[in-house]
Amino acid sequence: MSTTQPGPVRMTRQRVAVADALQGVDEFRSAQQLHEVLRSRGDAVGLATVYRTLQALVDGGDVDVLRTDDGESLYRWCVRREHHHHLVCRECGRTVEIDGPTVEAWAAMVGTEHGFSEIVHTVELWGTCRDCRGA
Amino acid sequence: MSTTQPGPVRMTRQRVAVADALQGVDEFRSAQQLHEVLRSRGDAVGLATVYRTLQALVDGGDVDVLRTDDGESLYRWCVRREHHHHLVCRECGRTVEIDGPTVEAWAAMVGTEHGFSEIVHTVELWGTCRDCRGA
DNA sequence: GTTTGTGCAAATATTTTGCACTTGA
DNA sequence: TCAAGTGCAAAATATTTGCACAAAC
């Protein structure tokens, strides 16, 4: 059996552009939004490349993903790489990174209590932020 | 302003079939799976109708939905109609209904603490159940 | 007999992939 | 150089919708 060799990762204009569009923004953004932002910024990147780059960033642990109720994936370059959750504004995507020590323990306990192994939990909080409330 | 009148709900063979395929099963099932089950059971129902019926059941509060990591919706006729969460087997869909009183309070608190309103939280636990572990 | 419901096919929407062409190292 | 990356268009997925026909009540 042979494992696929990692292979060097090239620093391309597109990858820099996508990473740059995510960094410094504290909102979750969809691939389509990022694609549009880059286009209007005059630094166009193919949509497929945006998706491919985002996936790589997620795999590398630099970016977090979550899915909206209607199945769209949203991406965000989170400050902390450790496990955490999000409080996301349903209007603008603004996000606050949070952690819930109690929740972690509870999830693990409930899981094993029922004979389940390899427990993974998804905890996301959605709300309307102060700024969007007025709108 | 006029609200759309509810209109009577007709009890059709299809609706009975879909409801029946979900009741008595303690697993989350996809629309496609249900469609197939009904077909092989000799009680075929159009896929579009399966989707429409499931949506109606969800709206009526009889059925719970959740989305897998790869964006597929899973449906389950839950025992309790009140708010609760799920511990789902990622292999077979078997589910245990759970509640986390602590989580509820925590979610609400964290939300308002950051100035967000209309907080909604999604908490789902995924694991591998005892029976699927052997496989 | 109406009006609601169904089936099918076509339309949506998001994301993925094949392939010829570019480009970074 | 030349493997890795990109763009575009086509494919794949899951779900929704328009419309003619069927069937509850």
Q: Is the CB of residue A50 less than 8 Å from the CB of residue A31?
A: yes
Average pLDDT estimate for B117-126: 96
Average pLDDT of every residue of chain A: 93
- Give contacts of A125 with chain B, Cβ < 8 Å: 107, 110-111, 116, 119-121
- Give contacts of B96 with chain A, Cβ < 8 Å: 114, 116
Dihedral sign, CA of B20, B36, A120, A50? negative
Q: What's the CA A49/C1' C23 distance, rounded, in angstroms? A: 15
Give the pair of three-digit tokens for residue B98: 């759970």
User: What values do phi and psi take at B51, rounded to 5?
Assistant: -60, -45
Average pLDDT estimate for A97-124: 95
Q: Is the pLDDT of residue A126 over 70?
A: yes
Q: How far is B79 from chain A (nearest CA, A)?
A: 17
Give the pair of three-digit tokens for residue A1: 């059996």
Q: Is the pLDDT of residue B3 over 70?
A: no
Per DSSP, A5 falls in state: P
Average pLDDT of every residue of chain B: 93
- Give contacts of A110 with chain B, Cβ < 8 Å: 87, 98, 100, 125
Average pLDDT estimate for B50-68: 97
Confidence of residue A4 (pLDDT cuts 50, 70, 90): very low
Any bridge partners for residue A96, and if so which? A87
What does the alpha-carbon distance between residue A118 and residue A72 come to, in Å, rounded to a whole number?
Answer: 26
Strand B73-77 and strand B63-67: the pairing is: antiparallel
Average pLDDT estimate for B8-29: 95
N-terminal to C-terminal alpha carbon distance within chain B: 58
Average pLDDT estimate for A47-74: 96
Nearest residue in A to B119, CA atom? A127
What does the pLDDT read at residue A119?
96
- Give contacts of A100 with chain B, Cβ < 8 Å: 103, 106, 110
* Longest alpha-carbon distance in chain A: 59
What does the pLDDT read at residue B134?
79
Average pLDDT estimate for A10-37: 96
Q: Is the pLDDT of residue B5 over 60?
A: no
Look at A114 and B87 and tell me if their CB atoms are within 8 Å: yes
Question: B61 or A134: which carries more pLDDT confidence?
Answer: B61
CA distances from B118 to A91, A96, A121, B109, B121 (A): 12, 15, 22, 12, 10
Please report which helix (H) or strand (E) contains residue B117, including its range.
Answer: strand B117-128
What does the alpha-carbon distance between residue A18 and residue A15 come to, in Å, rounded to a whole number?
Answer: 5
User: What values do phi and psi take at B82, rounded to 5?
Assistant: -70, 165
What does the pLDDT read at residue A3?
45
What does the pLDDT read at residue B24?
81
Confidence of residue B9 (pLDDT cuts 50, 70, 90): confident
**Which residue has 């693990």 as its token pair?**
A108
What does the pLDDT read at residue A6?
60
Size of interface A-B (CB pairs under 8 A): 99
Strand A63-67 and strand A95-98: the pairing is: unpaired
Query: What nucleotide is nearest A47 when CA is compared to C1'?
Result: D7
What does the pLDDT read at residue A5?
55
Give the pair of three-digit tokens for residue B116: 């967000």
Query: Which residues of B lie inside 8 Å of A (Cβ-Cβ)?
Result: 67, 71, 87, 89, 96, 98, 100, 102-103, 106-107, 110-111, 114-130, 133
Q: Is the pLDDT of residue A110 over 80?
A: yes
Comparing C-alpha atoms, which of B126, B96, B130, B127 is closest to residue B27? B96
Which of A87, A89, A124 is the best substitution to test chain B (most B C-beta atoms within 10 A)? A87
What does the alpha-carbon distance between residue B65 and residue B87 come to, in Å, rounded to a whole number?
Answer: 13
Q: What's the CA B47/C1' C10 distance, rounded, in angstroms? A: 15
Q: Is the pLDDT of residue A63 over 90?
A: yes
User: What values do phi and psi take at B121, rounded to 5?
Assistant: -125, 145
In chain A, what percentage of residues exceed pLDDT 70? 94
